[in-house]
Amino acid sequence: MKTPMKHNNPKTLTTALEKAAKHICTAKSGLCPHMVEEYPCPSDCTLDTTAWECWAQYFLDQATPARPQNNTD
């Protein structure tokens, strides 16, 4: 059995995230997470926006813990 590689290099992780996002996008017929997961778009979509980029941001947002909201009432 091979020794597992350590993937803590930011460039390696970014490349892996991009590849995963492209695979998911293809599996979801090119639909963005807004259409599949009812995930709000992180920014305005333009003609330059590609669905896999939205999937990458979706995954990043899932990995980032939500910040507690202050109750200002």
pLDDT for 24-50, tens place per residue? Answer: 888 888 888 888 888 887 777 777 888
Task: Give the integer Cα–Cα distance in Å for 73 and 54.
Answer: 34
User: The pTM is what?
Assistant: 0.66
Nearest alpha-carbon partner for 25 in 12, 10, 36, 11: 36
Tokens of 26: 């293809």
Residue with structure tokens 């980032």? Answer: 64
Task: Give the integer Cα–Cα distance in Å for 56 and 27.
Answer: 14
Ranges of each domain in the chain = 11-57
Residue 60 predicted with pLDDT over 70:
yes
